[in-house]
Amino acid sequence: MNLDQLIVEDPERGIFRVHRSVMTSEQILALERERIFDRCWLYVGHESELPKPGDFRRREVAGRPLIFVRGKDGAVRVFHNSCTHWGAKVCRLDHGNADSFQCFYHAWTFNNLGQLAGIPDAAGYPKDFDRAALALKSPPKVGNYRGLYFVSFSPQVEPLAEYLAGAREYIDLILDQAETGMRVVAGTQLYTVRANWKLLATNSLDSYHAPALHTTYFSYMASFKGSDYQSETRASALRPGGRGRSLGNGHGVGESAIGGMARPIAHWHPMFGEKAKSEIARVQARIVERCGEERASRMCDTFRLFLIYPNFVFHDVMAITIRYFEPVAPDAVRLTVYALAPNEESKEQLDLRLNNFVSFLGPGGFAHPDDLEAIESCQDSFRSREVEWSDFSRGMRRQPELMDELPIRAFWRQWHAQIMGDKKAMRVDDLPIAGTGGAISAK
Ligand code: FES
Ligand SMILES: [Fe+2]
């Protein structure tokens, strides 16, 4: 099949479908690596993971082994974890603190600024041997937005802030919830799902599935005595006022009122217990004081799920999680998940947050396993190659609502443009449809 036929879009007839071979093909994955993962900005880590000089974390981004490190000068850098001598990995621990990295093969030593600081039996090299040229190599672009570090393997990539486009508003909305900054809470969830990475990306932008798929979690929430959940609509996703938006460059968001769910910032629910009520009220009052009623209400009483294209997801729901994923095969994706919390949060609040995190969003929670089972089920059924297309047309011909697939179409348009070899899609938004009220724009 020609690449341009992989997605069929016909706004007049409300058709948007994607050929399922894009989820199973080795050739498509090879193209994705070359035209998407080698060209976009990709998340690598948060500054709070490296509090002290010498702190380091190993990362894998777009198939490259990397070291994310704070040097003795206090600056954060990213290096390829590849010795400039013969190539052995100079860092073999997942995290730690080090003045230097000594390669285990022939013991070349690099300081935490990446400079080649020591060579055993250096007399074997000439006096003018260019050690500077043999420093650890960094990706061509390393950028940071408010402490979130990204790398790009393309020297031509646009500036990070430009790339993030409308996603910046949502990153701000999350980071501003903290008075003294956000931190990644220690502990990582790492797991592999037997599904194409795009099934995970589109699941992360999808609210339509929540009432159908996550009944266990919603029943659990409703089971608390005094829960307002039962008097709410069936799931907060069904409440009016929610919406999905495309945010430019393939990024997208779904945002809605929290409804009968719990939110450590700062929406009390009976599952938190009476004891937590006053603390949550205090947190909420301070946010109102700092950010004003309107913005505070958005932070406390609404949630958002958003994707920074192609592979970085924020869940700002009953906790805040960061997750990023790496394709390992057409039918396998590896996830890394962290919780994010305000630095100033009390121990009791943090406990509530983390319990909330694992009860819904964790791989053993009441909801996330549903998502994983659903996307693995999709992937497995793609063996029936005669069923060729997946439909993503929901809400194409009306003013978009939260459960419509608008941000997912935006993801696919950017994906398709890049697979075709273009830098970005001419447009990521749905086209306005005359006479339907469906004039739909990200801006
Ligand atoms: S490969 Fe690292 S010192 Fe030889
Ligand atoms: Fe879900």
pLDDT, mean of residues 315-329: 94
Residue closest to 63 by CA, chosen among 36, 90, 83, 100: 36
Q: Which residue's CA lies nearest to atom 1 of ligand 1?
A: 86
Digit-coded pLDDT (tens) for 418-429 = 999 998 888 888
The tokens describing 209, both together, are 């599935």
Could you give the 3-state DSSP secondary structure of residue 333?
A: strand
The set of residues, in sequence order, having a beta carbon less than 8 Å from that of 214 and lying 6+ positions away, is 235, 366, 367, 370
Residue 301 has pLDDT above 80, yes or no: yes
> What dihedral do alpha carbons 366, 181, 322, 157 form, nearest 10°?
160
Is 70 exceeded by the pLDDT of residue 96?
A: yes
Residue 6 CB partners (closer than 8 Å, separation 6+): 18, 19, 21, 22, 416, 419
Q: State the Cα–Cα distance between residues 340 and 319, nearest whole angstrom.
A: 8
Q: Which of 136, 78, 74, 82 is nearest to 110 (CA)?
A: 136
295 lines ligand 1 (CB under 6 A): no
Q: Taking Cα atoms as reference points, which of 352, 430, 376, 425 lies closest to residue 398?
A: 430
C-alpha span between 213 and 205 (Å, rounded): 15
Q: Is residue 92 within 6 Å of ligand 1 at its C-beta?
A: no
Nearest ligand, CA 119: 1
- The tokens for 3 are 């690449």
Q: Over 90: is that where the pLDDT of 136 sits? A: yes
Paired strand residues for 334? 192, 326
Contact status, residue 18 vs residue 5, Cβ threshold 8 Å? no
Torsion sign across C-alpha atoms 40, 306, 326, 408: negative
Q: DSSP string covering 374-408, please?
A: HHHHHHHHTT-TTS-EEE--TTTTSS--TTSSHHH
Q: Please, what is the Cα angle at 50 between 44 and 54, to 5 degrees?
A: 115
CB of 440 sitting under 6 A from ligand 1: no
What single-letter amino acid sits at 131? R
88 lines ligand 1 (CB under 6 A): yes
Ligand closest in space to the Cα of 81: 1
Shortest-distance atom of ligand 1 to CA 108: 3
Expressed in angstroms and rounded, the spacing between residue 207 Cα and the centre of ligand 2 is 7
Q: Which residue's alpha carbon is nearest to atom 3 within ligand 1?
A: 106
At 198 the pLDDT is 98
Pocket probe for ligand 1: among 79, 82, 83, 90, the residue whose CB has the most ligand atoms within 8 Å is 83
- Does the Cβ of 110 fall within 6 Å of ligand 1? no
Q: Region 336-362: what's the mean pLDDT?
A: 89
Question: What residues have CB less than 8 Å from 390, skipping those under 6 apart?
Answer: 17, 18, 20, 378
The residue to mutate among 67, 84, 86, 101, having the most atoms of ligand 1 within 8 angstroms of its beta carbon, is: 86
Instruction: Compute the distance from residue 69 Cα to the ligand 2 centre, in Å.
Output: 33
Residue position matching structure tokens 């005669």: 386
- Give the pLDDT of residue 117: 97
pLDDT band at 241 (very low <50, low <70, confident <90, very high): low
Mean pLDDT over 138-163 rounds to: 98
Q: Which pLDDT does position 263 carry in this prediction?
A: 82
Coil, strand, or helix at residue 40?
coil
Provide the terminal-to-terminal Cα distance of the chain, rounded to the nearest Å.
34
Distance CA 112, CA 219 (A): 51
Closest CA to 228 of 258, 201, 254, 253: 258
Distance 374 CA to ligand 2 centre (A): 9
For helices 347-356 and 277-291, what crossing angle results, to 10°?
A: 100
Tell me if 108 CB under 6 Å of ligand 1: yes
What mean pLDDT is predicted for residues 399-415?
93
Ligand 2 mean position to 106 CA, how many Å? 49
pTM for this model (two decimals): 0.93
Do 263 and 303 meet the contact criterion of CB atoms below 8 Å apart?
yes
Q: Does position 31 have pLDDT exceeding 50, yes or no? A: yes
* CB-based contact 117:109 (threshold 8 Å): yes
Checking if the pLDDT of 303 tops 70, the result is yes
Q: Which of 246, 172, 247, 236 lies closest to 207 in space, CA to CA?
A: 236
Instruction: Label residues 273-282 b or e (16+ Cβ within 10 Å = b).
Output: eeebeebbee
Beta carbons within 8 Å of 212's beta carbon, 6+ residues apart: none
Minimum mean pLDDT range among 106-110, 324-328, 340-344, 421-425: 421-425
Distance in Å, CA 82 to ligand 1 centroid = 9
Q: By alpha-carbon position, which residue is closest to atom 4 of ligand 1?
A: 106
| CA 129 / ligand 1 centre spacing (Å) | 16
87 alpha carbon – ligand 2 mean position (Å) = 41
Q: Pocket of ligand 1, candidates 106, 121, 131: which has the most ligand atoms within 8 Å of its Cβ, to mutate?
A: 106
pLDDT at 109 over 80: yes
Contact 49, 55 (CB under 8 A): yes
Q: Is ligand 1 within 6 A of the CB of residue 85?
A: yes
Q: How far is the CA of 171 from the centre of ligand 2 (A)?
A: 21
CB count within 10 Å of CB 110 equals 24
Q: How far is CA 425 from the centre of its chain?
A: 21
CA of 83 to the centre of ligand 1 (A): 6
Averaged over 335-345, what is the pLDDT?
A: 94
User: In this structure, which ligand is nearest to the CA of 218?
Assistant: 2
> By the 8 A CB rule, do 123 and 23 touch?
no
Give me the helix-helix angle, 197-204 and 368-381, nearest 10°: 140
* Residue 156: pLDDT over 70: yes
Q: How many CA atoms lie within 13 A of 276 on its CB side?
A: 22
Quote the tokens at residue 18. 């994607």
Question: Which mutation among 108, 116, 137 tests ligand 1's pocket best, with the greatest number of atoms within 8 A of CB?
Answer: 108
